[in-house]
Structure 1
Amino acid sequence: MQNSSEPSTESSPVKIDTSVDPKASKSAPSRLAAFKNGVLFNVLIPLGLLACAGAAVVMLGTVEPATRPSTDTTRDGRLKALPPVRVQQLQSLEQTGQPLRLQVDGTVVPYREARVAAEIAGKVVFKAVECEAGSYVTAGQLLMKIDATDYELEVDRLTRMKEQDYQALREVDQEMANAKRSIEVAKQDLALQQKEVDRQNAMPAGYASRAEIDQANRALLASRQQLVNFENQFDLLVQRRIRLESSERLADTQLRGAETNLARTEIRAPIEGVIVAEEADLNTFVSRGTTLVVIDDTSKVDVSSSLRMDQLYWVLNQGNETVDTASRNYDLPETPAIIEYEMSGRDNVVYRWNGRLLSYNGIGLDPTTRTVPVRVVVDNPQEMVDENGKPITKTGTPALVRGMYVRVKLMIKPKASLVVIPARALQPGNRVFQFMPDESVLETTETEVTGDLADDGFNAKRWEPGKVIVRRSVVPVDTLTLGNVSGSQQTLSTDTNASGDRVSAFEGANRMWVCEVQSPELVSGSYVVVSPLGGFDDGSMPVRAERLDGDGAAPADADQSVASRAKNTEGA
């Protein structure tokens, strides 16, 4: 018996699914699109690029290498092969007509500072309107008064005492005159008594008794005693007069002291200048020695500065040195100087004054800066000068006052011969490239030319062959600016450029260095290279320099050639 739960296969018909899978229907077009993209990017586009490149090669043609030019062995060709340089002729400092200007910084300090103090004690009962900080006062001007009541009374008391001594002297003089008359009378009386005694003694015996003779002798002794008393009295009067004279002189001295103290009650300005501080007010009690006002002398001004030891060397070794040989080690030769003050915020506004370097400011070196302190005096701070030290008239100029930072230019005339070298010729390491004309450098120089020398404008007559030698024995001392570098007349130019702005000491064609040269080959009249010359440190190098014209100037095309050569070198 079959189980009724099992399905019957015979009674149920079989169904066939005729529907299509949508994913399977979409896969065929996707594979076709991928095939087409692969053919386009992997076959057709590369073939097109190759075809375009081939067409470009056919259209442009092939590049043929340039033919090597022939070697030019002529003098002009060899000369053109040399690197061009620009040179300038050296001159000595004496030829420029300018002194050696050592520039240092300094600070303005008062020439004299008067600290006016009270010489007596008392209360300030008067104070002038001008007695204020910043006021200008003249010498002898009244500033303050101290209560003079006590000092006036002291003068009056000593005056009366002096009058009493004078009256006492008059009394003594009268007593001395009386004593002299008494002495004269006593002498006459003594003479009479002496005659009486002589007469008694001259009489024969028995004419005068012994009592009369003794009485005459007694009267003589009394007259002599009276004369001695008068003489002693006169001597005492003389000593008394001496004592009174001494007392009168003492009273006179005390009176003069009291009058001096009375005069000291008026405080007056001892010098002409500006009050920088006032430390006492009205109705203030001041003691003796108390500072009342401080006045700066404005008739002269001091500038405190410091020199390095190398700068001090040039100050001590000048041609016009006038220092005493006994004090040479402790004194400085008087050296003219120009004091410059540049107004803050206005670089082109500079004020100048004449000054003098006088002496050391003390003795020894500053322990902090290791420099030598010196003292520069400006004799006339009201007189403005130009950069050459000549007086000029300028309105609205400031005064030199304490605390100003200034530049001090010392005008030194050194004994040693110095050479003026252009700043552009001085190389790093204090080196100089000296140009020496030499035709032998053309014997080993060859060049490659592509055309006629006349076509490129090269003129061999304008160039001089030679070699450049490095000179290392150069010691720069200071900078110098000349208005006309190569002319016969040298003028000092300003420190501004064409735009009116101040420039550095290393800028401009007229910037020079005053140098001490130890090499005997580098002297006045030698030529140095002032154009860039790279890749040369030692030995010698053949070059061509443009011949200088009448005023010693070189045309500008030499600079252009050097510039193009430097650019080509950088490109390579």
Structure 2
Amino acid sequence: MSALFRRWGRGLVIASGLAAGILLIAVSIIHRQTPTRGEDTFQVPTVRVVDAAPLPFVVEARGYGTAQPARTWNATANVPGRVVARHAGLESGTLLAKGTLLLEIDPSRYRLAEAEARAQLASLAAEQAQLKREVENTRRLVALERERLTLAEQELARIQRLANGGSVSRSRLGDERRATLAQRQTVQSLENELALIPARRQRLKAEVERMTTRLDQARRDLEDTRFEAPYDLRLGEVEAERHQYINAGQRLFSAEGIEAAEVVAQVPMDMLRRLLGTQTVRDAEDAGLDIAQRLDFSAIDAEVTLVAGKGARWPARVVRIANGLDPATRTARVVVQVDDPYRQVAPLTRPALVRDMYVQVRLTAKAPTPQIAVPATAVHQGEVYVVDSDQRLVRRPVQVAFEQHDLAVVAQGLEEGDSVIVDDLMPAISGMAIEPQRDEELARRLRRRALGERR
């Protein structure tokens, strides 16, 4: 009996479980929900947009280079001698003012050479004065001797007539002829002396020129014994010491001017081409004149920034474009000059612009016409997403002229007033509904960036 009861109990439990499962399935079928259409659950995305508008644009080019002094001086001895004077501050790195006596070589031998040349010139001057006096005296003697010759010839003529008449002996006539010939010889000798005067004068003139040259050389050698600062400078390596004997051609010290520094910046050609495209080329009579010499560099603003130093910058100006390209990088070499690189020096915030500092050069010029610029991230493989009047997305192909920093300058494809999407949509389907929201702060930032402002 108990076994039968157990079998009926297990059957009842199984039947109850099946009934409960069938009941749950029936309830699920009765209360099931039909699927809704996708259009009913799709949410219109909200995106940031900016209006395309022509903006005043500042074209920029950047390059890197090392600073060098605009003027350098390698002092070399032109004359030999012993160093008799040396400035106490003649050491590497010292700043000295223009006109400071830096070093002097013993000038005694060159002063003696100058004195000797002066004495020789004085002697030649005396000879010239003597020659002048001799010319005057000889001319007077010539005049007197010519008068005596005239009288002698008259006397000879008289004696000749008397001798022809037999009144005077032939010996007397011979004596008179010999006297007349002697007088003629005297006159001829004096005239020969006068004829030689120009040659003597020319010889003295040549001697004077030779001694004048020697005197000039002595003076120049004397000047070469003194080394004075030709401009405000900073000393480099110094190789001369006091009492040291210096040979001609020996290097003494090096120095560099502090009034200006130059940087040869290596600028990519495409950047430089865009920058120079903003300038008006001046007409030149010489058609072969270098195009760089026909540009108005004053219209280009330049600034030099220390790469390793935060905030250290100097105003500069473009002075020339070096000939040719850099053989290693194929970049153009633009030379900028920084005036007074030692002015207002602050050791921590504004150091002096000294030799071999690695710097960045920033060149800017205002574009002649406004440009349409959008964030570079808004350009997707040659397309820009815009919102049409029905607030639908349109994929617009554009032509980007160039990119500058985070801006893309659009040459074709956008019109003034187009609403450009600046967010990155995934997916971006043409015709999809868009909820645009203008980003005024981004628009102001774009305008500042187009004007070249750093912030």
Same fold by TM-score, threshold 0.5 exceeded?
yes
Alpha-carbon distance in 1 for matches of 2:358, 2:205: 63
Find the aligned partners of 1:302 and 1:553 in 2 and give their Cα distance: 38
Q: How does 1:165-204 map to 2 (within 5 A)?
A: 165-200=124-159
Aligned ranges 1:209-224 → 2 under 5 Å: 209=168, 211=170, 212-224=172-184
Shift of 1:112: 1.7
1:249 CA drift (Å): 2.2
Residue of structure 1 in register with 2:51 after alignment = 89
CA distance in 1, matches of 2:107, 2:37: 113
User: TM-score normalised to the size of structure 1?
Assistant: 0.64
* Partner Cα distance (1:332, 1:129) in 2: 48
What residue number does 1:434 align with?
385
3-state SS of 2:312 partner: strand
Q: Are 2:397 and 1:471 aligned?
A: yes
CA distance in 2, matches of 1:103, 1:552: 25
1:540 match: secondary structure:
coil
- Measure how far apart 1:513 and its partner are: 0.7
Distance 1:528 1:550, change over 3 A: closer
Alpha-carbon distance, 1:418 to partner: 3.5
Distance 1:382 1:154, change over 3 A: closer
Kindly indicate whether structure 1 or structure 2 has the higher relative contact order, using CA contacts under 8 Å at least 6 residues apart.
2
Q: 2:417 aligns with which of 507, 525, 529?
A: 525
Tell me, what secondary structure is at the counterpart of 2:355?
A: coil
1:242 CA drift (Å): 2.4
Local SS of the residue matching 1:295: strand
Q: CA RMSD, aligned part only?
A: 3.7
Return the letter of the residue paired with 1:543.
A
- Residues 102 and 523 of structure 1: CA distance in aligned 2, closer, same or farther (over 3 Å): farther
Q: Secondary structure at the match of 2:141?
A: helix
Given residue 542 of structure 1, which amino acid in structure 2 is its aligned partner? M
Describe the SS at the equivalent of 1:168.
helix
- C-alpha separation in 1, matches of 2:358 and 2:441: 40
Residue 390 (structure 1) aligns with: none
| 1:106 equivalent among 31, 40, 65 | 65
Percent identical: 23
Contact 2:81–2:245 (CA under 8 A) maintained in structure 1: yes
Paired amino acid for 2:372: V
Would you say the 8 A contact 1:320–1:413 is kept in 2?
Answer: no
Residue 358 of structure 1 aligns with which residue?
Answer: 319
Q: Does 1:274 align with 2:261?
A: no
Aligned AA (1:544)? I
The answer as to 2:303 corresponding to 1:338 is yes
Inter-partner Cα distance in structure 2 for 1:526 and 1:230: 112
Any idea what the Cα deviations from partners look like across 1:220-272, whole Å, max 9, x if unmatched?
Answer: 33222211111112223442232123212211211221121112111122332
Give the 3-state SS of the residue equivalent to 2:325 in structure 1: coil
Q: Pick which of 122-131 and 406-415 moved more.
A: 406-415
Give deviations 1:311-369, integer Å, cap 9, x for gaps: 1321332233348552346658323312223663xx4xx13322223333342342x22
- Distance apart, 1:412 and its partner CA: 2.7
Alpha-carbon distance in 2 for matches of 1:71, 1:143 = 91
**2 CA distance for matches of 1:553 and 1:130?**
58
Contact 2:64–2:267 (Cα < 8 Å) also in 1: no
Worse overlay, 295-304 or 545-554:
545-554
Name the SS of the counterpart of 1:288 in structure 2: coil
Deviation for aligned residue 1:89: 1.3
Q: 1:290 matched to which residue of 2?
A: 250
Counterparts of 1:268 and 1:70, CA distance in 2: 95
Distance 1:145 1:377 in 2: 33
For residue 409 of structure 1, report the CA deviation from its aligned partner.
1.3
User: Structure 2: how far apart are the matches of 1:549 and 1:152?
Assistant: 83
| Secondary structure of 1:370 counterpart | coil
Matches of 1:231 and 1:357 in 2, distance apart? 74
Contact 2:61/2:267 (<8 A) preserved: no
User: Which structure 1 segments of 5+ residues have no match?
Assistant: 1-46, 385-392, 440-464, 480-511, 555-572
Aligned to 1:507: none
Deviation at 1:478, TM superposition (A): 1.2
Query: Which residue number in structure 1 is paired with residue 434 of structure 2?
Result: 544
1:317 paired with 2:207, answer no
Residue 377 (structure 1) aligns with: 337
1:208 is displaced (CA, Å) by 4.1
What's the CA shift string for 1:156-205, capped at 9, x where partnerless? 32233223223333333333232222112101111222333454567796
- Shift of residue 424 of structure 1? 4.3
Unaligned runs of 5+ in 2: 1-12, 445-455
Q: 1:402 aligns with which of 355, 361, 367?
A: 355
Distance 1:83 1:242 in 2: 107
Residue by residue over 1:423-466, the C-alpha shift from the partner in whole angstroms, topping out at 9 and shown as x without a partner, is 44244x4x442314243xxxxxxxxxxxxxxxxxxxxxxxxx12
**In structure 1, distance between residues paired with 2:131 and 2:431:** 113
Indicate how the Cα distance of structure 1 residues 549 and 86 shifts in structure 2: closer, same or farther if over 3 A, else same. closer
Say if 1:553 and 1:327 are closer, same or farther in 2 by CA, change over 3 A.
Answer: closer
Deviation per CA, 1:102-129: give whole Å up to 9, x if none: 2222321121211111111112121101
Partners of 2:163 and 2:111 in 1: how far apart? 81
Task: Provide the C-alpha distance between the structure 2 equivalents of 1:541 and 1:289, rounded to a whole number of angstroms.
Answer: 83
In the aligned structure 2, how far is the partner of 1:276 from the partner of 1:204? 102
Q: What TM-score, normalized to structure 2? A: 0.79
- For residues 108 and 322 of structure 1, what CA distance do their matches in structure 2 show? 30
Larger radius of gyration: 1
Please state whether the residue corresponding to 2:203 is helix, strand or coil.
Answer: helix
Q: Distance in 2 between matches of 1:207 and 1:394?
A: 123
The alpha carbon displacement at 1:399 in A equals 1.7
Counterparts in 2 of 1:263 and 1:394: CA distance versus 1, 3 Å: closer
- After superposition, the C-alpha distances for 1:277-324 in whole angstroms (9 at most, x for unaligned) are 212111222211222121112211111211222113213322333485
Moved more, 243-252 or 413-422: 413-422
The number of equivalent residue pairs is: 416
- Partners of 2:82 and 2:67 lie apart in 1 by 36
